[in-house]
Amino acid sequence: MKILPLSVKNLARKPGRTTALVLLTAFLALAVFGGSVITLSLRAGLRSLEARLGADIILVPSEAESKVSFRNMFLQGTTGAFYMDASVAEKALEVPGVEKAAPQTFLASLKADCCSVKIQVIGIDPSRDFTVQPWIARSLKNELGDMEVAVGCKVGAGIGETIRIYEQRCKVTACLEPTGTGLDTAVYCNMKTMDTLLAAAEAKGVSHRISSGDDSVVSAVYIKVRDGYDIGDVNTALTGKLRKVTAVRTRSMLTGVSDSLAGISRTVTAMIVVIWVLAFVILLLAYTLIVRERSREFAVLRLLGASRNMLGRMALYESAVCGLIGGIAGTGIAAVGVFSFSALIEGSLGLPYLIPGFSTILCLAAGTILLSVAVSALTSAFAAWRLSRVNPGTALRDGA
Amino acid sequence: MLLQADNISKTFFRNTGSANYFYAVSPLSMEIRPGTVTVLTGRSGSGKTTLLNMLCGILQPTEGRVLMDRTDLYSLDDAALSRFRNEHIGVIPQARSAVDTLTAEENILLPARLYGKDPPAEKARRWMENFEIAHLAGVFPRELSGGELRRMAIIRAVIRDPDLLFADEPTGDLDDENTHRVLSALHDLAHGENKAVFIVTHENDAEKYADRVFRMDRGEVFPLA
Ligand SMILES: Nc1ncnc2c1ncn2[C@@H]1O[C@H](COP(=O)(O)OP(=O)(O)O)[C@@H](O)[C@H]1O
Ligand SMILES: [Mg+2]
């Protein structure tokens, strides 16, 4: 370690050179860490979406087609104000091949006085639901009682608080895990609570009546197809049997997402690879130039009895420190950027976006920093190793 | 320590018409004994620096051996030879040789620090005072004059108390008073501390301090007086 103090002085007393190297590595670390977090978040978003969406087919009233984009409904969980007769669920079950039919009722709240964001209320039937129930169950031990709600993580209400929806007080009994979609701003209640809320909304002039005049309405019915049945056939049968109802296959939607996700993943990965190859070349070039500029200094050190090995170590220490500082700085800046603009990124991609857990992020950060250190050290050691073959006597001859 | 050059020569590539190499130093044998000052003079380009570099262990001869108390220098591996140079051989190169990121004093103490030895700060101070650069201890090389840098390099070469001291035109950029100071200091090292000193110089005065004088001409070395 006798050479280390020399490295430290070299770094401290050539601040321009040190800063340039730190900035270069910081830029690389930024690209790698930022790119990786975005890719991983998209993957995690898709996984959570797949896990949540056990449904093969979704039934919505035909009029919904003009009111909501199904793609957004799926990916982002946006809902709309459209309703059909509650009996659709029972009728669907009569179609051969339908294993489960879970109704949901949507209600868009007015700017709720509880919350900063406009929330969506979703009524579910816990006894029949198979789509969101497993997800809700992870945060909620008992079933949702009357006038109780489970809130998405972005609603901003804590357990035990009361939120008012159309003047009705609802008690928050659970906060749900993030999904990376619009569902994070939704509120879930049981069907009985939903009926109360619908009536309250009606009183405020928000209509949900349907022409049939039946009191009981639902917005969508999620269908699970029995194993061994062809989803396409069941889809056709459902469309044939149910009037004024549109049946949408979820698989086609998810495939689309997977495809665009794979595309984005590939692009980001390719970009990271290109950046690193470029970086490697630039760093190698930078260190070659620097080392050449320092050839006289190296020759003097050799003359005074430093071995080639020691010179290699000196260059290695210096670049490793630059790599470390640059790596930490770049990762830090990327982290601040990615996390503080995650809403923006999420919005502009239009895909489910779920930032990975703390430990994954930590591993990723550590990996990025390690990589920065390794690449810096490798390129500079290579440059120094090449230079130390030059005879010190010859190097000292030039000039003066 | 006794240094013996055993039939060493150095050739470099150069198209001379009859061959594509030439002898910068023709084969020669010489001994450099403790307690003596050896002076080598000769015109520019005659091969003095090349010979000195071979003797001090930084330039491998094309042929022949350099023995230091029977150790063949160039048979050592890089780590061993480097360490040997650090401990036993001091070199004052002809060219500017400061490490720019270190102050004058740090430059002087660098040979000791390279191998984790206690820096002989007291000795450094004494020599700096003697050479009138004590007030420049904390100054960086880019702010020093050629003569000041030269004196710094001389102190750095002796700081590890080497058995052999090589100086390549050490007085080239010094005034008369400092030339005298440097040469008599080197003379004292040989006669007071039994070191072997080898000086390459143009300075005619230098011969006054010498025990043996050689003259070099086109790679050949001749003894003088
Ligand atoms: N590395 C080298 N490659 C080719 N020629 C060299 C090299 N080093 C020295 N020479 C040549 O060898 C000759 C002797 O050089 P040098 O020993 O520096 O002379 P001096 O020190 O006496 O001025 C010169 O002609 C020089 O050009
Ligand atoms: Mg010379």
The number of C-alpha atoms within 13 Å of B12 and in the hemisphere containing its C-beta is 10
Rounded CA-CA distance A399/A50 in Å is: 70
What is the chain B residue with the closest CA to A297? Answer: B99
Residue A248 lies in a domain: no
Task: Mutate one of B25, B58, B74 to test the A interface: name it (highest A CB count within 10 A).
Answer: B58
**Which residues in chain B are closer than 8 Å to A300, comparing Cβ atoms?**
93, 97-99
3-state secondary structure of A189: strand
**A129 shares its domain with A225:** yes
Tell me if A304 and B95 make a contact (CB, 8 A cut-off): no
Ligand 1 atom with the shortest distance to the CA of B13: 4
**Chain B nearest C-alpha distance from A13 (Å):** 6
Residue whose Cα lies nearest atom 14 of ligand 1: it is: B47
Q: Reply yes or no on whether the pLDDT at B87 is more than 90.
A: yes
pLDDT top residue among A319 and A391: A319
Final residue of a structural domain among A197, A214, A243: A243
Confirm whether A58 is domain-assigned: no
The answer to whether the CB atoms of B96 and A305 lie below 8 A apart is no
Q: Lowest-pLDDT range, A250-259, A323-332, B49-58?
A: A250-259
Q: Which domains does chain B have, with CATH numbers?
A: 3-223 (3.40.50.300)
Distance (Å) from CA A56 to ligand 2 centroid: 88
Give the ligand with the smallest distance to the CA of B42.
1
Mean pLDDT of all residues in B107-122: 92
Amino acid at B64: G
| Confidence tier at A399 by pLDDT (50, 70, 90) | very low
Domain shared by A237 and A276, yes or no: no
The confidence score (pLDDT) of residue B136 equals 96
How far is A184 from A109, CA to CA, in rounded Å? Answer: 15
Residues of A in contact with B86 (CB under 8 A): 304-306
**Chain B, window 33-92: residues with a beta carbon less than 8 angstroms from a chain A beta carbon:** 49-50, 53, 58-59, 78-79, 82-87, 91
Domain assignment of residue A250, yes or no: no
Model pLDDT, residue A214: 59
3-state secondary structure of A62: coil
* Alpha carbon of B59 to ligand 1 centroid (Å): 12
- Sign of the CA dihedral B177, B179, B184, B189? positive
Pocket test for ligand 1, best of B15, B40, B50, B217 (most atoms within 8 A of CB): B50
Residue A29 falls within a domain, yes or no?
Answer: yes
pLDDT of residue B35: 95
On whether the CB atoms of residues A354 and A45 are closer than 8 A, the answer is yes
- The residues facing A248 across adjacent strands are A58
**From the CB of B48, is ligand 1 less than 6 Å away?**
yes
Structure tokens at A182: 């619009």
Domain boundary among A243, A275, A297: A243
Alpha-carbon distances, residue A320 vs A18, A315, A370, A378, A390 (angstroms): 11, 8, 10, 9, 24
Task: Judge whether A348 lies within some domain.
Answer: yes
The mean per-residue pLDDT over the stretch A250-275 comes to: 76
Ligand 1 in contact with B44 (CB < 6 A)?
A: yes
B42 Cα: distance to centroid of ligand 2 (angstroms) = 9
B77 CA to centre of own chain: 22
Looking at residue B132, what is its pLDDT? 92
Strand bridging mode A220-225 / A57-61: antiparallel
The pLDDT assigned to A283 comes to 84
Model confidence at A208, pLDDT cuts 50, 70, 90, reads low
User: Is residue A105 within 8 Å of residue A83, measured between CB atoms?
Assistant: yes
Q: What is the B45 CA–ligand 1 centroid distance (Å)? A: 6
Supply the Cα-derived Rg of chain A in whole angstroms: 30
Residue B152: pLDDT above 90? yes
Residues 6+ apart with CB under 8 A from A273: none
Same domain, A117 and A204: yes
Closest CA to A161 of A174, A144, A152: A174
Confidence band, pLDDT 50/70/90 cuts, at residue A197? confident
Let me know whether A181 and A41 are in one domain. Answer: no
A348 CB-near residues (< 8 Å, 6+ apart): none
Same-domain pairing of A274 and A188: no
Could you tell me the two tokens for A139?
């945060």
pLDDT at B26: 96
Q: Based on the domain organization, do A76 and A225 belong to the same domain?
A: yes
In percent, the amount of chain A with pLDDT more than 70 equals 88
Q: Are A77 and A182 in contact (CB under 8 A)?
A: yes
Distance between CA B74 and CA B71 in Å, rounded? 9
Following DSSP, what letter does each residue of A125-138 receive, concatenated?
-TTT--SSHHHHHT
Looking at residue A210, what is its pLDDT?
Answer: 63
3-state secondary structure of B43: coil
CA B50 / ligand 1 centre spacing (Å):
6
- Mean per-residue pLDDT, A13-29: 91
List Cβ neighbours of A244 (8 Å cut-off, separation of 6 or more): A61, A62, A63, A84
Query: Rounded to the nearest whole angstrom, what is the distance from the C-alpha of residue B17 to the centroid of ligand 1?
Result: 18
In degrees and rounded to multiples of 5, residue A70 shows phi and psi of -60, -35
When pLDDT is cut at 50, 70 and 90, the band that residue A35 belongs to is confident
Question: What residues of chain A, 8 to 37, have a C-beta less than 8 Å from chain B?
Answer: 9-10, 13-14
To test the contact with chain A by mutation, choose from B66, B94, B96, B97 the residue with the greatest count of A C-beta atoms within 10 A, namely B97
Contacts of B18 (CB under 8 A, 6+ apart): none
Segments forming the whole domain that contains residue A26: 3-47+257-399
The reply to whether A378 falls in a domain is: yes
Q: Does A305 sit within 8 Å of B114, measured CB to CB? A: yes
**Residues A89-138: pLDDT tens digits?**
899 999 999 999 999 998 887 655 555 567 788 999 888 888 777 777 77
Confidence of residue A303 (pLDDT cuts 50, 70, 90): very high
Instruction: Average the pLDDT over B161-168 and give the result.
Output: 95
Confidence band for B99, pLDDT divided at 50, 70 and 90: very high
Q: What's the pLDDT at A212?
A: 53
* Predicted confidence (pLDDT) at residue A198 exceeds the cutoff of 90: no
Our CA-based measurement puts residue B81 at a distance from the nearest CA of chain A, in whole angstroms, of 8
Backbone angles phi, psi at A365, to 5 degrees: -65, -45
- Ordered DSSP codes for A114-180: T-SS--EEEEE-TTT--SSHHHHHTT-SSPP-TTEEEE-TTT---TT-EEEETTEEEEEEEEPPP-S
Segment A16-31 mean pLDDT: 91
Give the C-alpha separation, B141 to A248, whole Å: 79
| Tokens 């070199």 belong to residue | B91
Query: How is residue B136 annotated by DSSP?
Result: G
Single-letter amino acid, residue A251: R
Q: Is residue A251 part of a domain?
A: no
Same-domain check for residues A188 and A266:
no
Residue A224, amino acid: K
User: Do A211 and A105 fall within a single domain?
Assistant: yes
What are the tens digits of pLDDT across the range A169-186? 889 998 888 877 777 888
Q: How far apart are CA A394 and CA B93, in angstroms?
A: 11
* Confidence band, pLDDT 50/70/90 cuts, at residue B3: very high
Distance from the CA of B168 to the center of ligand 2, in angstroms?
A: 7
CB-closest option in A5, A309, A393 to B58: A393
Give me the number of domains chain A comprises: 2
Q: What is the mean pLDDT of residues A340-346?
A: 80
Q: How many whole angstroms separate alpha carbon B111 and alpha carbon A5? A: 13
Residues A276 and A188 in one domain: no
Residue A54 lies inside a defined structural domain of this protein = no
Local structure of A56: helix, strand or coil: coil
Of A212, A243, A274, the domain-final residue: A243
Paired strand residues for A381: none
At residue B140, does pLDDT exceed 50? yes
pLDDT of residue A135: 76
Distance from CA of A23 to the nearest CA of B (A): 21
Given this model, what pLDDT does residue A85 score? 87
- Segment B191-195 mean pLDDT: 94
Q: Quick one: pLDDT band at residue A400, thresholds 50, 70, 90?
A: very low
Please give the helix or strand (H or E) that residue A57 lies within, else none.
strand A57-61
- Ligand 1 atom 5: residue of nearest CA: B12
* Residue B64 φ/ψ, nearest 5 degrees: 95, 175
Whether the per-residue pLDDT at A254 is higher than 90: the answer is no
Are residue A108 and residue A238 in the same domain, yes or no?
yes
Three-class SS state of B212: strand
Cα–Cα dist A347/B10, whole Å: 73
Determine the Cα–Cα distance for residues A121 and A190; give it in Å rounded to an integer: 10
Q: How far is the C-alpha of B125 from the C-alpha of A55, rounded, in Å?
A: 86
- Is the pLDDT at A31 greater than 90? The verdict is no
Which residues have C-beta within 8 Å of that of residue B101, sequence separation ≥ 6? A9, A10, A13, A14, A297, B140
Pairing of strands B164-168, B89-92: parallel
User: What would the mean pLDDT of B140-167 be, rounded to a whole number?
Assistant: 94
Question: Of A10, A12, A5, A6, which Cα lies nearest the Cα of A290?
Answer: A10
* Measured distance CA(A246)–CA(A99) in Å, rounded: 19
pLDDT of residue B162: 95
Contact A303 B58 (CB under 8 A): yes
Indicate if A21 and A88 belong to the same structural domain.
no
Residue B24 CB–ligand 1 contact under 6 Å: yes
Q: Which has more confidence, A377 or A70? A: A377
Answer for the pair A92, A242: CB distance below 8 angstroms, yes or no. yes
The identity of residue A354, as a single letter, is L
Q: Under 8 Å CB-to-CB from B163, ≥6 apart: which residues? A: B1, B34, B88, B89, B195, B196
In the numeric block, which tokens belong to residue A149? 């709600």
HSE-CB of B119 using CA atoms within 13 angstroms: 14
Paired tokens of A293: 């500029």
For chains A and B, count residue pairs whose Cβ atoms are closer than 8 Å. 89
Q: Note whether A98 and A214 are same-domain residues.
A: yes
The reported pLDDT for the residue numbered B76 is 95
Q: Which B positions 105-164 lie with beta carbon below 8 A of chain A? A: 106, 110-111, 113-116, 140, 156
Higher pLDDT, B138 or B225: B138
